[in-house]
Structure 1
Amino acid sequence: MAASGGSLSRNGLRGREAELEELRALIASVARTGSGGLALIQGEPGIGKTTLLAEAVTSARSAGFSVGLGKADELHRIVPLSSLATCILHGDQPLLSGDALVDLARNHDQRIWLVERLAEAIEARAGSVPVLIALDDVQWADPLSRFALKQLPTRLRTSPVLWLLTGRLEPAGPAEEVVAAAMDTLPTLTVPLGPLPGAAIGQPAGDTLGAGVDERVRDLPDGAGGNPLPAVEMPAGLRTVEASGEPVPPGLVVGVRARLRSLPPSTLRFLQMGAVLGRRFGFHDAAALCGQPSATLIAALEEAVRAGLLDDDGDHLTFRHDLLRQAIYVDIPPSARKALHREAAHQLVSAGRQPIDAVPHILRGALPGDEEAVALLRQAADDVLPVTPGLAADLMTRALELVPSARPLRFDVGEQAIVCLTRAGRSREALLTGDRLLILRPPLEAFSRLQAALGGTLWNMDLAEELRRRAESALAIGVAAPEVGARLAALRALALSRDHDLVAAREAGETALRAATAIGDREAHVLTLSALGEIAQNAGENVVALECFSALSAVDSAFLPEEIVAHLHVDDFESSERLLLQAADHAGSMRQAMMLWAQGQHDLGLGRLADADAGLVTMERLEDDVQVPVQQVNARVIRSWIALLRGDREAAREHLAAAQERLTVKPNPGNTAAVRFLEAVHAEADGEIGLAIDKMRQVQRKGFFMRWPLLRNWVDSAIRMALRGADHELAEDLAAQAEAHAERNPAVPTAIGIGAQALGLVKNDLALLERSVALLRASPRPLVRAAAYADLGQALLAAGRRPQAMAALTHAQGTFAESGAHAAAARMQRDLDSAGAGSRRAASTRRPVQGWGALTASEKKVARLIAEGYTNRSAADLLVVSPHTVNTHLTSAFRKLSVNSRVQLANLVMALPDN
């Protein structure tokens, strides 16, 4: 290859000089700036994408990049991580060893966790040398690789990592998805490859056949339409054709088919079997499909390699180009192709391959009634469900199609399909699938199993009343297997947790727990403990809820986030922090988004508003990534509240709008109450007190205010709102609820302190407000304490006790300011000014929007650590937060500092006066 800027001589690069220079410029930029980048080479098959990619890879290696180069395969595109694995396991210095990838696979029950581990490996390599990860034919990437490719470029944008992809022109294909995900966060380049100009397309014939070729041959590439592959293959085929005396076939595949016709029948048959197996296949697999011993096909293999149709790397055989394989494949009669794919699946399984390896052939070759195919699809779906639930759902949908309606097996397959569809977030499809099966009048045992399987679906869809009705209907039949009956009883209790009669719900839950314990069914046990925890939490019995959720996480560690939040409800922040540390050490088994929710609740309780906001931002992004929204409504409610405390009304309104939008997806009573209360808060801030009171009444109609855990620590705001609107009846009701909640939680300082505060506000009782402040000194929640001090300060002013009032208001102002609640601190300052604080006026705490001073305390910590050379993971371990949260802080810091790489950040930090 010529040096950069020189002429090109490779056949596939004729006329691609400009495109190559664009890629070289991006390579140089990543190396120079230390920040990430992404490029996509697009075009039709055979247009030269692979050749241009190879040339760019060569340039990157020359520039000192560590390169991972791989290719997605059409027939392996459902095997989880198979596409990206080719990039990270191969090369002179693989990013991961085969053993490390196997270790990742053992923990692949969490897509987010798996992607983070990959990110850490790539980030570690990029700390010493720029990295290029190149994937050819991304349109055939498997679902998990596609998922990772949409996350990793953004996650690694602050490291010198260049992603180079090739893909076919597809308006809404995987390539476009990857580019769209990265476009707003790092430099992206799309390189479209159109037809080559006439002069360039004519060169390959001369390169291949020499200067003495006649005009008839030189005119052949004109029929290639500017596509260089046929222009190369036609002359190569002519060399073979002329030796055999056959005429040249017309059209795009003239050269390919001509080359095939010159081959011995045994070689052609061997190539056909290889084409069925895929672009990359094993010699023994092809021999088995031919029905011959491997030794008898060595000559055929040698002929195929000699003809330039196959490459042999010692482990696998690979067609030199997809079009070569396709030209061979399409010449096999369709009925024969179907039969061969079915036979290929059988051969692969017989050879000890995993079911997922046989599935692509099953999908192409299985016919209705093929129970072996159904069994393979079910096993494969079970294997991939934890890491790619969408794929598992697709496999089970196909399995269900292969089972005739009259077969009892259909109901077992349908039950598994419902579970997979629900896990994939396709709840409506799961419910429709279940109802179609129920219409077939299954045996009573199957009826109960299907209703139990639909329980999780209905719960995810917030159809608690329908869940209760169906569970009771199935239980009334009384013929379910003991474990199914226990699950149905647990599901009924879970549905009742959202009912008004929580006493009856608790009785149902305790009965279900006895049944689950007696039978020893783990799923029923988990469901029942979850139900009892929900019931106790909704009843405001925080200690009982903690007992239930602690028992639940002991049975299944995936529920540790619920235990952490339960500790927070009893003011045990020390235990919650210990469990957060424990979760960081065992992240592979955790639900990452829910862990971030727990971390956000922890930070919010401790008044760390910036950390809480960052954690909730990351949580929402992760929920979007896996397409399973759980806490997005509540997260936006909290973020809007935080924005109001900070004084950012625009952001607060944006979060309110987002919460309202997400409420349409998750319209359960708790979410609805939270959004209505937030609407009331905004209405009051806008001076519409009548509307605010109306919204508060709507909250009450969904269930009493203190029923909703998210709102309990905000009841003081609700009471002030009611008093301002002269609705004393509402204020008294809210205070009575807060007092009752305190009685249920006598050992929780926050609960009893807020109870006294609420009653003091309604009665305008200074002694109660003083008692509230005294009680809340034991609370670990600074914002709750600050609000109580603010109320006390106002009451002391009204009572003429100015010095004490100044002290209380100053304490409130300082606490608000320390937490970053600038608007609340400013209100306290205005009260101090009105009371004549004068010279004691505090300096403005409002943070600038750009520069080092714009960073929050957490962002500064992260920035300093990254500047010192820490990775996201090592910084997260030191700060006791998630790597995802570190990434969120780092992204915000980069934006505020106007830098785009770790090198630039390090230079800026080193130049700081206090460094």
Structure 2
Amino acid sequence: MTRSGLRGREAELEELEALIASVAHTGSGGLVLIQGEPGIGKTTLLSEVVARAATAGFSVALGKADELHHIVPLSSLTACILHGDQPLLSGDAFVDLPRKHDQRIWLVERLAEAIENRAGSMPVLIALDDVQWADPLSRFALKQLPTRLRTSPVLWMLTARREPAGPADEVVAASIGNLRTVTVPLGPLSGAAIDQLAGDELGAAVDGQVRDLLDGAGGNPFLAVEMLAGVRTTPDGLVPEGLVVGVRGRLRSLQPRTLRFLQMGAVLGRRFGFQDAAALCGQSTATLIAALEEAVRAGLLDDDGDHLVFRHDLLRQAVYADIPPSARKALHRDAARRLVSAGHQPIDVVPHILRGALPRDEEAVALLRRAADDVLPVTPGLAADLMTRALELVPSAQPLTFAVGEQAILCLTRAGRNREALSAGDRLLACRPPLETFSRLQAALGETLWNMDLTDELRRRAETALTIGGAAPEIEARLAALRALALSRDNDLVAAREAGEAALRTATAAGDRESRLLALFGLGEIAQNAGENAVALERFDALSAVDPAFLPEEIVAHQHVDDFESSERLLLRATDNARAMRQAMMLWAQGGHDLGLGHLDDADAGFATMERLEDDVQVPVQQVNARVIRSTIALLRGDRTAARQHLAAAQQRLAAKPTPGNTAAVRFLEAVHAEADGDIGLAVDKVRQVQLEGSFMRWRLLRTRVDCAIRIALRGADRTLAEDLAAQAEAHAERNPAVPTALGIAAQSLGLVKNDLGMLEHSVELLKASPRPLVRATAYADLGQALLTAGRRPEAVAALTHARGMFAASGAHAAVAHVQRDLDGAGNGGRRAATPDRPVQGWEALTASEKRIAHLVAEGHTNRSAAELLVVSPHTINTHLTSVFHKLSVNSRVQLANLVTALPDC
């Protein structure tokens, strides 16, 4: 590292050194983007900063993205974290990933844990050069990790060319507001700095002729150095204008064999293997040693012992630009073949395929298909892009076309691009494929149509394909299972169950795992929609035994039968096998667990985290329902502002995904808000709409909220609606005779409708066996009000006091205040339980969960170890910690530990 590379960058270097010192001192994270045109000195400055950070005691990781490897998953970050003297992860950390579901979230968390562990003993600097060429998975990780690790001494340092709305800007935008972000723009060097640079290179004072020549560099240090190299090597001292022309001048003196060798290297990329370039030249490595030596002497290549590297990518681009376009295309096709024959993975050669493939190139199509299959678990969007390109290359209406199309449908659907998948499938079906192929394509579109909630269309297509016949046994089994799944949204659930059972028998006979999963999932959905929770649990238990990724469905099914002990046990098991889980759905299950047990703070954080993860992977599934629940939680807490914000968000997301379930959930939430606002007429209308959405929605939506709907109906003097709701609760209890919550709510509902004090007392007795404190508290509150009306004041006070205590323990402050008003009315004001408003800043602003996590982090726990102790997701811990840092105005774990240690009770 010479000083010449830093001429004119003293101010920038000082700013970056100060940031390094700040991260080391405060223990908080940061992100830097060094931005500028090619050759402006970004790499040189980055290398110097990395060296100084290492001297300052940082664990450093330095990597560089490559233009011709910009699609290989995690290749950019891998250069940082898996290489070097002290790699953050071992090279086998990401092997054998489950292929059925998206693994991006798991991968990012695995990276975060490794970096966090290293940062626990020393500050960490992760530097990545040329982020504009980072692969999609690395870009995804870079948008998550800086924020995820903001509480640790981790400094991210990136360089990129100036590109409006490019990858680098996306990374910075994701971090702004969450941690300290700094952009360092590098402009042209001053004339004085260029003169110093020239003196360094030439070893003499710069004369007027050289200074005039250097004006053509425009203050770009790389171009200036290249011109100075020309001054040293060109006899007449003249340097042609433009880098490409200048490089041509330098190449002109090279042997033809050396020039061809460099061109083959330029096709392969900035970093390439000697053997690969020799093979592309059609010569042995022995015959090209002289060419290699000449290229290194000319300052065009560096040799690190494992690979050859163009000294700057601008040099590679200049050599590459001198190859005729038609020759480039042919060379890329040849490079793809030779790299595959040399043992490279398909994804490694895809950049060459994309540049060199011609229509009807079946070899290229085969490689694209293999590459798409390899990357599907970690970059489904890339897999979809590759298959879309493969579909463009194959001839239409040929057997290969339909096979490629089926794979394209799968990849597009997995990437959440359902409309594209359906369009591609319909185009293929319009080509009148053979009957067996027709059935395969319709089966492939099943998940697409389910995701789009086009259940009537799914049923029609499945039935059409089954009627036409000609399908292979496993495809016929899948179609039958898809038909049953579509029928789960129909009003005739008896027929749906019969179809599901028949589909399961067909799947078992066919020995097809996929159709068995579909049939079990459909039967679980049918049972849930029929309100038969024990049957649903049986189905989802069998489903998760076949595929552990469906464990969230089993966990939720346990919650519906009041088995929270098994729910917690399975949540712990999921933590041990996180890579097999669907992370967002697991958070949904965790949120339901916390909500059921009255842990409102944990539930709210869990659902917020789930929504963020769904946003990250751009596959929204439960966002509407999550916002509905969070709005309900906010109402229970007494935060009307947050409740309205969540309602607005739910309404907005409903417009994008207006499924029957989403519609009913939002309508009921609107009813609750209308009642809180005093518009009881509107509230009753909304509840009535929910009841009309379809019979199955009654069981799924109101299994624990039917009492609330009945109160709204009674307040609105709609006794018919109230009686209908009570009958619904009674029918649900009959379907679930072993579930205390169902039995207790049925009795509570009947007591409310009939104004039956004895039935309300019975409901409280039944609910003593329920693990749901908020349900018990509501029943006690209803009983207390009825006892007050009956003039039984002492018993009323006892019941209301019970209700108040349970609401308070859950943090349901609005419910506490409501019960307290009843207690005041009973003359119990002297024993009033104060529920002061929680401050917005400071230690007392923290929720109980946030305080627990703050103590654990202060004791030295990582997100992972804290999550294991509290039986929550590390993602949820991060959500809590972000809130803790904001409320306490701290920026690092060190500052948090100091603050907690100074508390009087510590």
Query: The residue matched to 1:250 in structure 2 has which SS?
Result: coil
* Residues 358-507 of structure 1 mapped to structure 2, 5 A cutoff: 358-507=349-498
Counterparts of 2:415 and 2:101 in 1: how far apart (Å)?
Answer: 15
Does the Cα contact within 8 Å between 2:529 and 2:696 map onto a contact in 1? Answer: no
CA drift of 1:710 comes to 3.5
Q: Give the number of aligned pairs.
A: 906
Q: Does 1:94 align with 2:87?
A: yes
CA drift of 1:217 comes to 2.6
Q: 2:858 aligns with which of 853, 858, 867?
A: 867
Counterparts of 1:229 and 1:107 in 2: how far apart (Å)?
Answer: 48
CA drift of 1:107 comes to 11
Counterparts of 1:104 and 1:211 in 2: how far apart (Å)?
Answer: 59
Q: Does 1:279 align with 2:270?
A: yes
Q: 1:179 aligns with which of 172, 177, 197?
A: 172
Q: 1:793 aligns with which of 780, 784, 794?
A: 784
Query: The residue matched to 1:134 in structure 2 has which SS?
Result: strand
Change (3 A) 1:594 1:355: same
Counterparts of 1:197 and 1:440 in 2: how far apart (Å)?
Answer: 64
CA drift of 1:558 comes to 0.4
1:354: which partner in 2? Answer: 345
Q: 2:524 aligns with which of 533, 538, 544?
A: 533
Counterparts of 1:307 and 1:213 in 2: how far apart (Å)?
Answer: 23
2:714: which partner in 1? Answer: 723
Counterparts of 1:822 and 1:559 in 2: how far apart (Å)?
Answer: 35
* Residues 777-856 of structure 1 mapped to structure 2, 5 A cutoff: 777-844=768-835, 846-856=837-847
Does the Cα contact within 8 Å between 2:64 and 2:76 map onto a contact in 1? Answer: yes
2:877: which partner in 1? Answer: 886
1:633: which partner in 2? Answer: 624
Does the Cα contact within 8 Å between 2:33 and 2:182 map onto a contact in 1? Answer: yes
CA drift of 1:860 comes to 1.2
Change (3 A) 1:103 1:202: farther
* Residues 53-202 of structure 1 mapped to structure 2, 5 A cutoff: 53-100=46-93, 102=95, 110-202=103-195
1:6: which partner in 2? Answer: none
Give the partner amino acid of 1:173. Answer: G
What 5-or-longer segments of structure 2 have no aligned partner? none
% identical equivalent positions: 82
Query: The residue matched to 1:503 in structure 2 has which SS?
Result: helix
TM-score of the two chains, using structure 2 as the length reference: 0.98
Change (3 A) 1:203 1:896: same
Query: The residue matched to 1:441 in structure 2 has which SS?
Result: coil
Q: 1:209 aligns with which of 183, 186, 202?
A: 202
Counterparts of 1:207 and 1:253 in 2: how far apart (Å)?
Answer: 24
Q: Does 1:598 align with 2:589?
A: yes
CA drift of 1:401 comes to 0.6
Give the partner amino acid of 1:458. Answer: L
Give the partner amino acid of 1:642. Answer: I
Aligned-CA RMSD value: 1.5
Counterparts of 1:703 and 1:126 in 2: how far apart (Å)?
Answer: 54
Does the Cα contact within 8 Å between 2:773 and 2:806 map onto a contact in 1? Answer: yes
2:230: which partner in 1? Answer: 237
Counterparts of 2:8 and 2:503 in 1: how far apart (Å)?
Answer: 73
Does the Cα contact within 8 Å between 1:806 and 1:837 map onto a contact in 2? Answer: yes
Does the Cα contact within 8 Å between 1:12 and 1:229 map onto a contact in 2? Answer: no
CA drift of 1:13 comes to 2.4
Query: The residue matched to 2:158 in structure 1 has which SS?
Result: strand
Which piece of structure 1 moves more, 265-274 or 157-166? 265-274
CA drift of 1:308 comes to 1.2
CA drift of 1:699 comes to 0.8
Counterparts of 1:20 and 1:255 in 2: how far apart (Å)?
Answer: 30
CA drift of 1:101 comes to 5.3
CA drift of 1:708 comes to 4.2
Does the Cα contact within 8 Å between 1:202 and 1:222 map onto a contact in 2? Answer: no
CA drift of 1:240 comes to 2.2
Give the partner amino acid of 1:687. Answer: G
CA deviations over 1:686-740 (Å, ceiling 9, x no partner) = 1111111111111112124863423210000000000000010100000000000
Does the Cα contact within 8 Å between 1:104 and 1:117 map onto a contact in 2? Answer: no
Change (3 A) 1:623 1:494: same
Counterparts of 2:560 and 2:125 in 1: how far apart (Å)?
Answer: 47
* Residues 213-228 of structure 1 mapped to structure 2, 5 A cutoff: 214-228=207-221
Query: The residue matched to 1:450 in structure 2 has which SS?
Result: helix
Q: 1:47 aligns with which of 8, 26, 40?
A: 40
Give the partner amino acid of 1:749. Answer: P
Does the Cα contact within 8 Å between 1:230 and 1:255 map onto a contact in 2? Answer: no
Give the partner amino acid of 2:567. Answer: S
* Residues 724-739 of structure 1 mapped to structure 2, 5 A cutoff: 724-739=715-730
* Residues 663-674 of structure 1 mapped to structure 2, 5 A cutoff: 663-674=654-665
Give the partner amino acid of 1:840. Answer: R
What 5-or-longer segments of structure 1 have no aligned partner? 2-8
CA drift of 1:127 comes to 0.6
Counterparts of 1:237 and 1:909 in 2: how far apart (Å)?
Answer: 63
* Residues 547-562 of structure 1 mapped to structure 2, 5 A cutoff: 547-562=538-553
Which piece of structure 1 moves more, 651-660 or 400-409? 400-409
CA drift of 1:246 comes to 9.0
Which piece of structure 1 moves more, 604-613 or 703-712? 703-712
Give the partner amino acid of 1:767. Answer: G
Counterparts of 2:735 and 2:447 in 1: how far apart (Å)?
Answer: 31
2:759: which partner in 1? Answer: 768
1:12: which partner in 2? Answer: 5
Change (3 A) 1:706 1:628: closer
Does the Cα contact within 8 Å between 1:817 and 1:845 map onto a contact in 2? Answer: no
Give the partner amino acid of 2:864. Answer: R
Does the Cα contact within 8 Å between 1:267 and 1:301 map onto a contact in 2? Answer: yes
CA drift of 1:838 comes to 2.8
Change (3 A) 1:871 1:108: farther
CA drift of 1:254 comes to 4.2
Which piece of structure 1 moves more, 184-193 or 855-864? 855-864
CA drift of 1:850 comes to 1.8
Give the partner amino acid of 1:459. Answer: W
Query: The residue matched to 1:713 in structure 2 has which SS?
Result: coil
Does the Cα contact within 8 Å between 2:98 and 2:579 map onto a contact in 1? Answer: no
Counterparts of 1:678 and 1:107 in 2: how far apart (Å)?
Answer: 35
Counterparts of 1:782 and 1:696 in 2: how far apart (Å)?
Answer: 25
Does the Cα contact within 8 Å between 1:538 and 1:709 map onto a contact in 2? Answer: yes
Change (3 A) 1:116 1:104: farther
Counterparts of 2:14 and 2:166 in 1: how far apart (Å)?
Answer: 26
Query: The residue matched to 1:98 in structure 2 has which SS?
Result: coil
Q: 1:617 aligns with which of 604, 608, 625?
A: 608
Does the Cα contact within 8 Å between 1:109 and 1:588 map onto a contact in 2? Answer: no
Give the partner amino acid of 2:463. Answer: E
Q: Does 1:901 align with 2:892?
A: yes
CA drift of 1:104 comes to 7.6
CA drift of 1:216 comes to 2.5
CA drift of 1:108 comes to 9.6
